Amino acid sequence: MRHSGSLLAALGFGMVLCGCANLQALRTPPPPQGSENRNTNEDRDTVAAVLMANTFQSMQHLAQAAPAEQAEIVAAARESYERSPQGSAKLRYALMLATPGHPARNPDLAQKLLRELAAQPEVLLPLERAVTLVQLAQLNDELALKSDNERLQGDEQRADHERGTATQRRLQAELDENARLRKQLEDAQAKLDAIANIERNLTQRKSANEGGQP
């Protein structure tokens, strides 16, 4: 894979730097006390810079590649992290998970890994620590904004639900009231019909009695 080749190239470059330093040491007098550590730190920083540059290139390629290649890039970073779940491999995997534009993006897991790295700065070189803190700050802002949006959407959904529930209750109350009034009307109509029937019967009896008199 492209990023794996670049990673090997970066490591090779670091080995060349170390080899050159050894040859130079044979040709020159011993350096002043303290300069050896300084050169070693500079070599480590140089290799770290090359590795981070390679990681940034992989992140850019990850955002633009086809889905199949995106999956390969993330899988390679995950496998490297699983073999050595710390330091540079952990940072690289977290950066891949934080990169936008691919299906495997997982900002929550990326944030978790970066927080763990930030809590153990001794496992990273200065450049890696700086990248960790910058990316972690970006993810913190992104996830905080996402949480706020979800909370607002939840509040709106709850408000809609409460309004809908209140409307349903009012509608049911109106239906119950209409049913009660209709029952009262039916009862009143039944009483009127009964009274009218009694009056009709009385009228018929009166007529029959009057008709039967001589």
SS3 string, the chain, reads CHHHHHHHHHHHHHHHHHHHHHHHHHHCCCCCCCHHHHHHHHHHHHHHHHHHHHHHHHHHHHHHCCHHHHHHHHHHHHHHHHHCCCHHHHHHHHHHHHCCCCCCCCHHHHHHHHHHHHCCHHHCCHHHHHHHHHHHHHHHHHHHHHHHHHHHHHHHHHHHHHHHHHHHHHHHHHHHHHHHHHHHHHHHHHHHHHHHHHHHHHHHHHHHHHHHCC
pTM: 0.54
State the first-to-last Cα distance of the chain, in angstroms, to the nearest integer.
129
Q: What is the pLDDT along the chain (214 residues), one digit of tens a residue?
A: 444 343 334 334 443 434 443 334 333 344 444 444 555 666 777 877 888 899 999 999 999 999 999 999 999 999 999 999 889 999 999 999 999 999 999 999 999 999 999 999 998 999 999 999 999 999 999 999 988 988 888 777 777 777 878 788 887 888 888 888 888 878 888 888 888 888 778 777 777 666 655 5
Q: What confidence score (pLDDT) does residue 37 get? A: 52
